[in-house]
Amino acid sequence: MSKRVIYLKNAEEANIIKQNGVILGKAQAEVAKLIGVGIKTKDLDKVAEEYILDNGGKPSFKNYNGFPATLCISVNDVVVHGIPSTRELKDGDIVSVDCGVFKNGYHADSAYTYMVGDVNQLTKKLLSDTKKSLFEGIAQVKPGNRIGDISYGVQSFTEGLGYGVVRELVGHGVGKYLHEAPEVPNFGKRGNGPKLQVGMVIAIEPMITLGKRFVVQENDNWTIRTEDRKPAAHFEHTVMVTKGGYEILTTFEFIEEVLVSRNLEII
C-alpha cells in the first residue's frame, strides 16, 4: 500500500473515529483539570494515559517511532513533540498538549494550547489567533475544494497578523494509521493540492510562532522549538469531509467545560 494513497472512510469508520474523539476529548479534559503552576509535565501524561487505557483505547503516540509518552507536551518556545518530564509549569507559561487515541482500529488526533497563570497579552493573542486559524482552515473543508485552500486559509490569516507559520511540520490524513496521506500544510496556494472528497479524514493543525517561522530540533531527536526562542502555539482537530462540508470528529468541548468550571479564561 502506497503511503500516497488517500483512504476514504465510510460512515461506520467515521463513527469509530468520532467515538475515539470523545475519549480523546475527555482525556484532554483530565489534563485540563491539572494545568497549573507547579505541575510536572509527566504527571499530565500519566492522567491522559490512564484515562485512555481505562476506556479501552491505546495512546496513539506511545512507541510511535519510539516516542516514549502518551502526550506531546510542548512548553513556550517548544512548538511540538516535547517529551513529558519532571519540568514544572510556571506562571506565564503556555503549554501545548497533543494527544492521539487508537481504538477499534482507528486513530483520532487533537491538540490544545493552555495558559498557565498570567500569560502576557502578546502570547495570549498568539494562542487565540492560532485557534482561530484552525477554524479558518476548517472553514475551507468541503468537497471540491483542495488541500491548498485549507493551507491558504491558515497561512493568510496568521501571516496577515504578522505571525510565523511553521513549514517543517504539517497536518495529515488520519485513519488506520496515525499519519496517512494527504499532507495538510499550513501554508500553500488556493486551488493547489489533492481535491477534498467525501470521506477524507484529515488532521488540521496550525503551528504558529510569535517570532520567525524557523524551528530547530533538540538533540533528544523529538523536541522541536523555535530557533529564535519566541513562543509557539498549536491547535488541532481531526476533521472529515462530508457532503455538506465538514464534520469535526474531535472536540474541545470537554476541555473548555473544565476551564469554565475552574474559572479559567477560554481564549
Strand partners, 80: 224
Residue from 98, 129, 149, 183 that binds Mg ion (CB under 5 A)? 98
CB of 121 to Mg ion, least distance (A): 27
Cell numbers found for residue 4 = 500516497
Considering only the stretches 86-94, 129-137, 152-160, 235-243, report the one whose residues sit in contact with Mg ion under the rule CB under 5 A. Answer: 235-243
Considering only the stretches 39-47, 109-117, 130-138, 213-221, report the one whose residues sit in contact with Mg ion under the rule CB under 5 A. Answer: 109-117
The set of residues, in sequence order, having a beta carbon less than 8 Å from that of 152 and lying 6+ positions away, is 140, 188, 189, 190
Q: Is 45 in the site for Mg ion (CB under 5 A)?
A: no
Q: Is 183 in the site for Mg ion (CB under 5 A)?
A: no
CB 179 within 8 A of CB 220: no
Nearer to Mg ion, 203 or 215 (CB): 203
Nearer to Mg ion, 166 or 265 (CB): 166
Calculate the CA 39 to chain-centre distance: 21
Nearer to Mg ion, 111 or 126 (CB): 111
Considering only the stretches 16-24, 37-45, 46-54, 197-205, report the one whose residues sit in contact with Mg ion under the rule CB under 5 A. Answer: 197-205
Residue from 78, 203, 249, 259 that binds Mg ion (CB under 5 A)? 203
> Do the strands 58-59 and 207-209 form a parallel or antiparallel pair, or are they unpaired?
unpaired
Q: Is 109 in the site for Mg ion (CB under 5 A)?
A: yes
Nearer to Mg ion, 64 or 161 (CB): 64
Long-range (24+ apart) CB contacts under 8 A made by 209-214 are: 209/79, 209/126, 209/163, 209/164, 209/165, 209/166, 210/122, 210/123, 210/126, 210/163, 210/164, 211/164, 212/164, 213/164, 213/165, 213/166, 213/167, 214/164
Site residues (CB under 5 A) for Mg ion? 98, 109, 111, 203, 236
